[in-house]
Amino acid sequence: MTEPLVKPKKKNPVLRTRLATLPPVPRSRTALGLTRAAAEGVFEMQVCADCGTVQYPPREVCGSCLSEHLAWKPVDNRGELIATTTLRHSNDLYFRERLPWRVGTVKMAAGPSVVAHVHEDCAEGGSVRLTLKLDRSGQAVLHALPEKDTPNMNDAPQLRESTCDPKFRRVLVTDGKSATGMAVAKAMLEAGANAVFLGDASTWKTVPAFDKLVASDPRLQVVELDVTDTDSVDRLAASIGGKVEILVNTADYLRDGGILNRKDVNLARDAMEVNVLGLMRLAQAFGPGMCFRAADGSNNAVAWVNILSIHAHAALPARGAWSASKAAALSLSHTLRAELRGAGVRVMNVFPGPVDEEWEQLTPPPKIAPSGLAKAIVKGLQDGVEDLYVGDIAEELRTRLRENHKAVERELGQ
Amino acid sequence: MSAATSPAASAAPAGKRRGYDGVAVTVPVTIPYVRYSTRSAHWWLGRALAELIRGAGIAKGEVDGVCVSSFTLGPDTAVGLMQHLGMSPRWLDHIPMGGASGVVALRRAARAVQAGDADVIACIAGDTNHVDSFRNTVSQFSRFAQDAVYPYGAGGPNASFALLTDYYMKHYGASREDFGKLCVAQRDNALKNPHALMKKPLTLQQYLDARPITDPIHLFDCVMPCAGAEGYLVMSEERARALKLPYARVRSTIERHNAFPEDPIQFRGGWAMDKDALYEHAGVAPADVDFLETYDDYPVINAMQFEDLGFCAKGEVAGFIRANEFTIDGSFPFNTSGGQLSVGQAGAAGGYLGFVQALRQLTGGAGRTQVKDAKIGVVSGFGMINYDRGLCSGAAILERGATQGEAA
Ligand SMILES: [Zn+2]
């Protein structure tokens, strides 16, 4: 059984911080299909459309009938662990620092034999389930997990390398006073976070629910943070930047309004200030510190979470300026992901449908409760995904976009 | 597995194959190995070619066919190497089959000589070993390895062989002591081979006490990567006699690639598909064999070759190992040079080591490693862990041809 993770001791500032290294990055372009599946948290492999053979490693043509029609599809993830080994030597720096490391061969019920990372609770000869995760390099790897969950399973060091579990980590919620911000803080505490810093851009404003939350747990700490003010962001980074292991950017500027119904760009500028330039300011202030601590022990800096919107993918003309700011933030997040990848810090983008909070008052249901959004974010971090779609509306729009993005454009514009 | 999805593979049809009549294999050469070399692969291959020409007593231009194997020759291939070496052969081959290269090169060259496409073919294999060569070779070995093996701990061949050794030990009854007995015997043999990098005796206790590298692989189960080259010549018997060269004849050969893809993990190699055809074509039986040179990157592969080449039945290898002695003067002379485990693994030259040693045995050139009265030898090759298993296998049955005295 996995030893429960112990709360990390206060860091000795004299000791050298372990620098970030990455597991091997190169993959063939076809193998990046696994990376896409892992980023979305699904288990898919190539399946031959003509003979049904499941392919692994990823191929260009079917290894059985030579058909070129190989589609990525969900496949049965169960298998038998037929051989294992524990590496006590590795040719790669990343693994050298993390030895011993257990790997094994799993004969999948779906057909292929695969080499996988093997969880310490898996018995050789026994049944396992495979899962696709992103490793620290951001590439997909297979993990063999026990058939059923075991106590403290997620605490296993190997699995923790491919996930971003908030347990024993410190979290900055950039707007802690919003309904979503408060819900995220609560969910992080429930998931075992060591501390949650609650950003507050409006210290003059009294919000009873916020005061009540802050008083409820000593792990909560209110910090002044206005993402539209570079000095404010820099001041906070100088104060707590070395302690932030997960950053959840909940700051948002949501207002109605398109283009032709206004005579100015003020609303658009305000949305951009918060949703785009705010993200950029946060990244410039907190990103380097997180990269420096990306391999620093069991509470290393692991994740940057952007709460975007499904409308980052498809504009809602009634909120055109806001949609544009979310689309711009999505684009910026790809650059941020590329820049953080060298250290192994993951960028998780969250795409919710409408959330049940004050600025969505007139939006008809279904709406996601802030607590539901927060729980999904925690689970996304625990699973280690990169793209998280939350709620029925988001899932439905995502499917419709795949089917016919022009139809979505027309329908959202009505 | 249904017939539709099963690869259409069958054993070699022995009755229809032609023999290797008139073919001579000769001039075994080894360029002494070193742990690390600052030279490039071209140097090692060039030295091997020069030694072959010197050993045969012919002019450089008389070599009209060349067959090359190397992992570290890149970006060049055999083609670029010919310009580098100033050769203008009318027949050229490049065999990227790792441990099976020695046997496969013979198959190609022997047929070319029989057909008259070339008269004298130099088969050479060599690699350099810079301090970072091994890591580079392992991380870029193949697409499947890059996509589906190297990201899992980057253990290289140790990890792949650890998995199949683990499976084999659990299902086929071989123990560490059995593997150790083979390693100890090979070390005894190596102490008689001046080319072996390992110069100290090895005891079974030292073998068992060695540190684990990748369970159940321990230190003395692993080869030491090094730089070196090996080579031999293929020509007609007529030519060999004219040159007064002692040579070996070829009784039969086999090769097989990606055998048994439906096996969930490797517990047998392609030899198991083709061994009956091999012995039938050669007109000999395993009992007629005087010595065996296998590809031995890990002891488990030796055990598989004993079974799959018919020296014992599958699952009976432990009893076979316990009942035999594997030293040069033992009941089953085996890897008489010391094998890669004690000589070192010079990249693709590792796929020639056993072949060249077999030629020495059959041409009276084996020195202190000579097996008394050796007339028939089996050489087998195994190579290329592309994903989870070795894909190439081959074997050759060689016999003593004319010795120098007879040739005159
Ligand atoms: Zn097919």
ipTM: 0.93
* Cross-chain Cβ contact B143/A57 below 8 Å: yes
Q: How far apart are CA B139 and CA B116, in angstroms?
A: 41
The closest CB to that of A89, out of B149, B213, B216, belongs to B213
The domain over range B23-132+225-242 is classified in CATH as 3.40.47.10: yes
Task: Name chain A contacts of B5, Cβ cutoff 8 Å.
Answer: 51, 53, 64-65
Number of Cβ pairs < 8 A linking chain A and chain B: 122
Q: How many CB atoms lie within 10 A of CB A179?
A: 22
C-alpha distance from B9 to closest chain A C-alpha (Å)? 13
Residue A390 has pLDDT above 90, yes or no: yes
pLDDT digit string, tens, across residues A271-290: 999 999 999 999 999 999 99
pLDDT by 10s per residue, chain B, length 408? 333 444 456 776 656 899 999 999 999 999 999 999 999 999 999 999 999 999 999 999 999 999 999 999 999 999 999 999 999 999 999 999 999 999 999 999 999 999 999 999 999 999 999 988 777 777 778 999 999 999 999 999 999 999 999 999 999 999 999 999 999 999 999 999 999 999 999 999 999 999 999 999 999 999 999 999 999 999 999 999 999 999 999 999 999 999 999 999 999 999 999 999 999 999 999 999 999 999 999 999 999 999 999 999 999 999 999 999 999 999 999 999 999 999 999 999 999 999 999 999 999 999 999 999 999 999 999 999 999 999 999 999 999 996 654 543
pLDDT score, position A357: 86
The closest CB to that of B214, out of A51, A85, A124, belongs to A85
* Cross-chain Cβ contact A85/B163 below 8 Å: yes
Mean pLDDT of A296-318: 96
Comma-separated ranges of CATH 3.40.50.720 domains in chain A = 170-412
Contact in structure between A241 and A285 (CB atoms under 8 Å): yes
| Token reading at B44 | 């090692």
pLDDT digit string, tens, across residues A216-274: 999 999 999 999 999 999 999 999 999 999 999 999 999 999 999 889 999 999 999 99
DSSP, collapsed to helix, strand or coil, labels residue B361 as: helix
Task: Name chain B contacts of A53, Cβ cutoff 8 Å.
Answer: 5
Tell me whether A61 touches chain B (CB under 8 Å): no
User: What is the chain B residue with the closest CA to A64?
Assistant: B5
Tell me whether B387 touches chain A (CB under 8 Å): yes
Placement of tokens 């279904």 in the chain? A366
The closest CB to that of A113, out of B139, B215, B265, belongs to B265
Residue B257 Cα to chain centre, angstroms = 15
Task: Name chain A contacts of B159, Cβ cutoff 8 Å.
Answer: 85, 87, 103
Task: Name chain A contacts of B158, Cβ cutoff 8 Å.
Answer: 87, 89
- Which residues, including other chains, have CB under 8 Å from residue B28's CB and lie 6 or more apart? B230, B231, B232, B356, B357, B359, B360, B363, B365
* Cross-chain Cβ contact A91/B154 below 8 Å: yes
Long-range contacts of A97-104 (CB under 8 A, 24+ apart): A97/A18, A97/A21, A97/A295, A98/A157, A98/A158, A98/A161, A101/A158, A101/B153, A102/A158, A103/B152, A103/B153, A103/B155, A103/B159, A103/B163, A104/A144, A104/B163
| Token reading at B206 | 């030292």
DSSP, collapsed to helix, strand or coil, labels residue A383 as: helix
Task: Name chain B contacts of A57, Cβ cutoff 8 Å.
Answer: 143-144, 147-148, 387
* Cross-chain Cβ contact B154/A95 below 8 Å: yes
The CATH number of the structural domain formed by A170-412 is: 3.40.50.720
The closest CB to that of A139, out of B151, B214, B217, belongs to B151
Tell me whether A86 touches chain B (CB under 8 Å): yes
Placement of tokens 């074509």 in the chain? B281
Tell me whether B216 touches chain A (CB under 8 Å): yes
C-alpha distance from B271 to closest chain A C-alpha (Å)? 22
User: What is the chain B residue with the closest CA to A112?
Assistant: B264
Tell me whether B169 touches chain A (CB under 8 Å): no
* Cross-chain Cβ contact A107/B264 below 8 Å: yes
